[in-house]
Chains A and B, each alone.
Chain A
Amino acid sequence: MKFQIEKDVFQEALNQVQHVVSTRTTLPILSNVLIEADELGLQLSTTDLDVTITMRVAANVAETGSVTLPARRLASIVRELPTSEINFEVNADNAASVKAGPSFFKILGLPSSEFPTIGEFGEAKEFTIDQKLLKDALRKTSYAISTDETRYVLNGVNCLIGEGLLTLVATDGRRLAMVEQDLEFPAGNETAAIIPTKAVNELQRLVEDKGEMKVSFTDSQASFELNDSHLITKLIEGNYPNFRQVIPGAANHRVTVERETFLNAVKRVSLLANEKTNSIKFAFEDNQLAISANSPEIGEAEEVIDVRYDGPRIVVAFNPEFVMAPLRNLDQDEVYVDLIDESSPGVIKIDEPFLYVIMPMRVAG
């Protein structure tokens, strides 16, 4: 196998695929990237057996063939190479010689035959989705995914396609983020799938602001084809909880807040959030929102911002991180905070089909 490739192109491609390989693995081959050279260029693949990413890049291939090389090591070498042109040659023992100007590296690899093949992707329901739409939806929900591994069904984004809508939901039991977008799709293709966190993260790296993508689901797998990449993931098996029961009914009070002002104020006040309860207080009254934190033995913080609100005084405590997460991931200038009372779940909304349910903490003192 012998090829010549541009450094930037190769580096970029390796960056995209190397996140999948796990650092600690019992199978050494899973730390490697599979490089396959054909007449058209290279195909790079990595897998952790759950998520597999394949990427095509242009290269001048002098001799076709394949090899697997340690992905992270290769990526760091390529990053440091001095010239823009790299020459690759792999011998029969799977040792790769990398030449770039004055530099020479020899990297020992493993035969490509050892690389796990991705299982056959069976009959699937296929959809064409706007990349930007999915990108936005993932960004607005993925931060609420549970990291509690004992609740494995929550370790992903629940993706529902039905009734003309694409619904993405993530929750960890204390907050819930949901996006609902119109989506046209062939009848009979209704789908419910839980896409695991890792695939969600990889997907977010791959999607761009324009263009479409092809998404397919089988009962146990999902595939995303976009640009020059192809991501295949296992789905989380199990039933996602009936999240709609979490969404409170009509709220009594609506507060309109400028998003960035809100975010920055919370960020500052949260520096003195009570370490034990990890909560800060939000007092809404008379077109003002007073955000305050009180940490015994450390000190206090308060910031008052202007909001639009003319209801009765409501004081409610939230985990500041849970308030900031959606604010960071929205683009709108204004957000709405809907409240029922001090102890009932609050809801953050925008003018688009998005909602974020957040459980208050008990207001102490």
Chain B
Amino acid sequence: MHSPYPLSAEKPLSEKDRTLLWNDIHIEIREAVGETNFELWFTGFQISHIEKGEVTLLASGSIYALWVDENFKGILLSIFPKYIDPLTNIRIDYSEEAEQEMAEMEASTPEETKKPEILVETISESKLLERGQKAGLVPKFDFENFVVGENSELAWAASQAVANHPGKAYQPLFFHSACGLGKTHLLHAIGWESLRQRPSSKVIFVSAEHFGNDYIHAIQNHSLEAFRKKYREADLLMIDDIQFLGRKDGFQKEFFHTFNMLADRQKQIVLASDCPASEISELEERLSSRFQSGMSAEIYRPGLETRAAILRRKRDDWKMAVSDELIDAIVEHVRGNVRVLEGSLIRVAMVATMNEESIEPGDVGEILADICGGAESANVGMEEIKRAVCEHYDLEHKVLIGKKRTARVAEARQVAMFLCRTMTELSLMDIAAGFGKDHGTVIYAVKKIRKKCETSNSLKSTVELIKRRLVRGGSVKSTTPSPDDYRKRG
């Protein structure tokens, strides 16, 4: 990606640009002044104005403005020119409004429980934005711009319940789905809604990898106390890609205790993974059982209608001139995850603006030729294939990857391997590891199924059916879907 900086400071920047700029710049400031200092003095800072090279920063209280001006102006003057050009001056001001608000909040803390509703109304959008970002939330992911379809109804409802009644509805809430279907979006949305309703609550959103790095960092710096304080005092802890936790014993132990502590205190935990909790590799039994003890919601591939709804929403958000007919054509062709859908929409919109003649729905296939072709291979994962195969053959996952070699199980296993080989770009070794076999077995399975498909029509149709379900999207669980079902939905 091309860095957009430095921005020109000649003309005033829009509020959105200023927020984004602060978003980027605050990271560097945080590094330069140190975590403690940043938390102490820069919390609540925003860029209130940029014009003619003068940047005005707004602190949430006069003491912060004073302290930053006296102690950190030099640092700011060394960082800002990288982002703003030309830069002549940095002014640090404070908003009396925010100071008042702060004083009131401080005054009201002893009787916090008095009227939380009033707080709900008073939190300003800018303040919410700032708190959310501090919690690790991304502004564009909220409930409002999540398109609910039949593929995500359950996950959506569970998210709402958790955001409205954290710690009471489901403990933990566990999302799983293939990538790009909205797990992360829902996590962020829960975070935003939760903050909106309870501005003073402590929300943390991290990826499992981040959690792990934090842990390592804490060990190296002998700051485990601070680490524990950070995570164990959260009111809402959301961890994305929790499947990555399943590698190091240390993390698991640390996370286990964090989990218990939060659960004991009735704080909400929300987790997201690319596979069901029972299938996260190398996850300790005690953790896996805890993950399964709450609410587990899967997000499926969106069906035709939902895909179209998502793209229409995107088109409106991005203000693109793409007709409904074109969108319908795109979703017909592109069956991949939401990211691929978005990419396709952008491509079509691009081509539409470049060409003088308008595009007909019929041209879409050509425009998106490479995406459509790739979608099949790029967006189906081994876990999904295994799941689809298990469902079709009515097997348990552990049987599929187990040692049992009855005809039906063996065939299912071979079909799964074959699909992994043909539909994904995984290497033989990867596939073999996924089934607990060696790569020779996979080669054999692929050859065998390919050969058998030439002779056996029933096997061929089985393979085709599973394949179609995988690429078509929609609930794989719906029993014996015929192609007609899909047409009816579309």
Contacts and interface: CB of A to CB of B under 8 A. Distances in A.
Contacts of A154: 66
Nearest to A173: B70
Interface stretch (B56-64, B274-282, B300-308, B398-406): B56-64
A242 B33 contact: no
A243 B63 contact: yes
B34 A344 contact: yes
B288 interface: no
A242 B62 CA distance: 7
Nearest to A241: B63
B36 A341 contact: yes
A240 to B, nearest CB: 9
B67 interface: yes
B57 to A, nearest CB: 15
B481 to A, nearest CB: 60
B456 interface: no
B40 A242 contact: no
B70 A241 contact: no
Contact of B36 (A171, A173, A343): A343
Given A245-B63, A343-B33, A173 B69 contact: yes
B42 to A, nearest CB: 12
Nearest to A171: B66
A345 B33 CA distance: 11
A174 B71 contact: yes
Contacts, number: 50
B61 A241 contact: yes
Interface string A284-321: 00000000000000000000000000001000000000
A242 B63 contact: yes
Interface in B10-61: 33-34, 36-37, 40, 61
Contacts of A340: 36
Contacts of B222: 312
A111 to B, nearest CB: 46
Interface residues of A, number: 21
Given A343-B34, A343-B37, A344-B37, A245 B71 contact: no
Nearest to B33: A343
Contact of A151 (B34, B66, B103): B66
B62 to A, nearest CB: 4
Contacts of A173: 66-67, 69-71
A246 interface: yes
B66 A242 contact: no
Nearest to A175: B70
Majority SS at the chain A contact face: loop
B72 to A, nearest CB: 9
A191 interface: no
Interface in A13-69: none
A122 interface: no
Given A242-B102, A344-B36, A359 B66 contact: no
A344 B61 contact: no
A245 B61 contact: yes
Nearest to B66: A173
Contacts of A245: 40, 61, 63-64
A319 to B, nearest CB: 11
B40 A344 contact: yes
B332 interface: no
B33 A174 contact: no
Interface of B: 33-34, 36-37, 40, 61-64, 66-67, 69-71, 99, 102-103, 222
Given A174-B71, A242-B102, A246-B63, 17 more contacts: A171-B66, A172-B70, A173-B67, A173-B69, A174-B70, A241-B61, A241-B66, A242-B62, A242-B103, A245-B40, A246-B67, A341-B36, A342-B34, A343-B37, A344-B37, A345-B40, A359-B70
23 contacts: A151-B66, A171-B66, A173-B67, A242-B61, A242-B63, A242-B99, A242-B102, A245-B40, A245-B64, A246-B40, A246-B67, A248-B36, A248-B40, A312-B222, A340-B36, A341-B34, A343-B33, A343-B34, A343-B37, A344-B37, A344-B40, A345-B40, A359-B67
Nearest 8 CB-CB pairings of A with B: A173-B70, A241-B63, A343-B34, A344-B36, A241-B62, A173-B66, A359-B71, A174-B70
Interface of A: 151, 154, 171-174, 239, 241-243, 245-246, 248, 312, 340-345, 359
